[in-house]
Chain A
Amino acid sequence: NAGVTQTPKFRVLKTGQSMTLLCAQDMNHEYMYWYRQDPGMGLRLIHYSVGEGTTAKGEVPDGYNVSRLKKQNFLLGLESAAPSQTSVYFCASVRGEPAGNEQFFGPGTRLTVL
C-alpha cells in the first residue's frame, strides 16, 4: 500500500498562474482533507470531503477550489495564485469521522508563488 501520495512534491508559480495539486489514497478512506502549514502556525484546514462527490469549506477556503470525483482522489486547485499562498500543503485521509480515527498524511507539496 502506498498510503497517501501527493503530486507534485515541489512547485514554483508566478502570480496569477493556476495549478492543481493531486492527492490519492489507496486505503478506501471516506474522509479527505487539504491543509496548509505555515511557519509558526498550526495546520489550517482549506477544504475537506466526507465522501465521493462531496466537498465542504474549511477555515481558509478563499482562493482554492476542490473536487472529489473519485473516492480515492482529492484535487486542490488554485485558479490565480498569489504570494500569500506560498506554503506547504498537506493532504490527509481518515477512515471515518475524526473522533478516534487517526489522520494519514501525504508527504506534502511545497509551493512557492513569486
Chain B
Amino acid sequence: GQNIDQPTEMTATEGAIVQINCTYQTSGFNGLFWYQQHAGEAPTFLSYNVLDGLEEKGRFSSFLSRSKGYSYLLLKELQMKDSASYLCAVIDSNYQLIWGAGTKLIIKP
C-alpha cells in the first residue's frame, strides 16, 4: 500500500525554527509537494521538490531525499500566522497525488 507519515501535531515558539518531517512509501515517485492549510480554509501551495536537495523560498525551505523516502519542511523566524496544518503530498507512478494527514503546527508567543 501507499503511505505518507507526518507527525500529528507540533508546538514551537514565535521567532524560533521548526522542522516538519514527512516519510513516504509509494509506488513510484514523481515529485513531492508541501501545502499550508489554515483552519477552516483551503490548502495553499508552499513548495515542490523533485530532485534531492534543499529548495529555499524566503522563511520556508523544503528538503528531499529520494533514496530515504524522506522530506522535511523548515520554517524559520516563526510568526503567529504560521499556525496552520502542513500537508505533505507525493506524486506516485500513476501521476496521482497521495496526501499525508497533515501536521498541525501550534505557535506559542
Contacts and interface: CB of A to CB of B under 8 A. Distances in A.
A108 B39 CA distance: 12
Nearest to B98: A42
A105 B44 contact: yes
Query: Interface size class for chain A?
Result: 10 to 19
A58 B92 CA distance: 13
Nearest to B30: A99
Contacts of B91: 98-99
Interface residues of B, number: 23
A43 B35 CA distance: 12
A42 B42 contact: no
Given A42-B4, A105-B42, A107-B42, A100 B48 contact: yes
B50 interface: yes
Contacts of A90: 42-43
Most buried by A among B45, B91, B99: B99
A108 B1 CA distance: 28
B42 A45 contact: no
Nearest to B99: A42
A45 B100 contact: no
Q: Is the interface of A mostly helix, strand, loop or mixed?
A: loop
Contacts of A40: 8, 101
Contacts of A106: 42
A103 B101 contact: no
A79 interface: no
A26 interface: no
B42 A102 contact: no
Interface in A56-108: 58, 90, 97-100, 102-108
Given A97-B95, A98-B96, A102-B33, A42 B45 contact: no
Given A42-B99, A103-B45, 6 more contacts: A43-B87, A45-B97, A90-B42, A98-B97, A100-B48, A102-B33
Interface of B: 4, 8, 30-31, 33, 41-45, 48, 50, 87, 89, 91, 95-102
